[in-house]
Copies of this chain bind each other. A is one copy, B any other.
């Protein structure tokens, strides 16, 4: 009986696993280099965890399950709620700032399409306890630091940055009611994906007043923070914060990757300050990553009010982007064999296995051919496995316990006593 994999999931055969490791290991290295510590939570949580942060709408995207105690659970579609829960649990004993990262496996029951699967990996970094735009700068820097370290340049990607505080201040300055802000955020966030007509129509539904509509369209079209009209003190403070952020990013050496963009809104209601997304410059793909400040989340999860900012980067869009830019190989090594041991006669097999075990015990990578046979054929296998050296047990071994060791790169061969080789390991 043949069974297929479940729709929207991936089988990580060794060459594909090597690509996943290339991405995930890079995330880990960039996180550690930037001073973040790794954490993780369970693969499932109580269903209501996800309703708190993102509302009932996310429930449709969840893989739900009930456990034996009839508890309603869900496979995690994101890790931020787990982060909030974990930080709240130990909020008094964790030294601040809390700078944590994670590379969770996440599942969402969405329609699979380019750059979007039902199961994926997502790099998350968060800084908790710093109520200052410096922390937002550090998050954006870290994301760029990673992407740049892979070889992506400011010609390939841009971090588009805006501010919820600024947008909120502007919307309220023209008379939008506080309670209507969330719905407008969702609409403005979708703008890029809508036709002009569809957007007009939906905007009219949200904001019937034509003058207000024009004002919204006017300030959404601003292409530099310098051009924002300072309507009041609140707008002024929000503008100053954005300007400070850009100054910091310049000092950190990533200004060329960063641009101000009012259209970056982020759909979710929980953002409270700086928001950003990193996009491919060509604009063909979904966002490579997105994030921002969320100062109320820990409170919403039953904890104290603590400032927080962070970002998430999935592996699917990233892999396409790296592929398009020739920055991820198709034949990344799946292992790295220092010595591949072969023997010409079956009676030498025990010796070959013994030698293999000794090399491994010495901490080096060794593998052996389960079949004895002709040197040429076995050497071909060594070459296919990309072994660095091939050790041959043949007549030389029978005659005088001598190994023939061939450097597979240079082709050079030498003979060495078995014992001498082993003690030299």
Contacts and interface: CB of A to CB of B under 8 A. Distances in A.
Contact of A384 (B3, B34, B95, B360): B95
A362 B66 CA distance: 48
Interface string A395-416: 0000000000000000000000
A361 to B, nearest CB: 6
Nearest to A44: B6
A88 interface: yes
A46 B6 contact: yes
Interface in A314-371: 334-337, 349-351, 353-354, 357-358, 360-361, 363-368, 370
B34 A360 contact: yes
Contacts of A294: none
A425 interface: no
Interface in A74-120: 75, 82, 85-86, 88-90, 95, 97, 99-100, 105, 107, 109, 118-119
Contacts of A149: 363
A193 interface: no
Copies in the complex: 2
A229 interface: no
A130 interface: yes
A46 B47 CA distance: 22
A49 B40 CA distance: 28
A63 interface: yes
Interface of A: 1-7, 9-14, 17-18, 20-21, 32-46, 48-49, 52, 63-65, 67-69, 71, 73, 75, 82, 85-86, 88-90, 95, 97, 99-100, 105, 107, 109, 118-119, 130, 132, 134-135, 137-138, 141, 145, 148-149, 247-248, 251-254, 300-303, 334-337, 349-351, 353-354, 357-358, 360-361, 363-368, 370, 384
